[in-house]
Amino acid sequence: MLDDLRDSYAKSGDEHAEEFLDWRRYSQRPYISATHGNRYVQNYGNEIGKSYGNYEQSGTMPEGSVFAKDSFGVSANGQAQLGPLFLMEKMSTGWNTASDDWRYTLIMPNGQVVGTTKGEGDGNVEFCIACHLHGAVDSADSVLFLPDELRAN
């Protein structure tokens, strides 16, 4: 299934969609995320964003930090079905104060980019901004953290 994930998301042409499976995985296992369509997701981060592994003590992420969540659902007959890829990339200070300088991108399993902050389909990722701005109570940088029992060490 991992090869399918990589191949499907890579059709988007987004460089992060092609490489995220090579990044550090911060979740021990797939878990259901209500805010990501009640799908199973896993959390990944690139090397620049490695301070995420300090969780509540991670501080402000440096420019170039990128986090990814792949997703899948399971049908009634037990078949796994690929879901969207969710990306967030820390941009330069002042890039977009409304998103805390994060660019959110939503990529469907067929590679279609549904939306990107300050890009085509911008309105389709507004919910990402709202959730991260209001849900990140333990972070000063709109980053949400995994529950302790899901964190990979």
* pLDDT over 90 percentage in the chain: 89
What string of DSSP letters covers 3-41? HHHHHHHHTT--HHHHHGGGSEE-BSS-EEEGGGTSEEE
Domain assignment of residue 24, yes or no: yes
Domain count, the chain: 1
- Alpha-helix runs per DSSP H in the chain: 2-10, 15-19, 126-135
- Residue 59: both structure tokens together: 């501080």
- 117, part of any domain: yes
Q: How far apart are CA 153 and CA 145, in angstroms?
A: 13
CA distance 31 to 42: 7
**Pick from 84, 3, 66, 72: which is nearest to 31 by CA?**
72
Residue 151 within a domain: no
Mean pLDDT of the chain: 94
Q: Are 92 and 63 in contact (CB under 8 A)?
A: yes
pLDDT of residue 148: 94
Q: CATH number, domain at 134?
A: 3.50.70
Structural domain boundaries, residue 12: 2-144
**Tens of pLDDT, residues 59-115:** 999 999 999 999 999 989 999 899 999 999 999 999 999 999 999 999 999 999 999
- Residue 138: its pLDDT value, please? 75
| Neighbour-count burial of 120, counting CB atoms closer than 10 A to its CB (0-12 exposed, 13-18 middle, 19+ buried) | exposed
Single-letter amino acid, residue 26? Y
Q: Note whether residue 38 is domain-resident.
A: yes
pLDDT (tens digit, 9 = 90+) per residue, 50-74?
A: 999 999 999 999 999 999 999 999 9
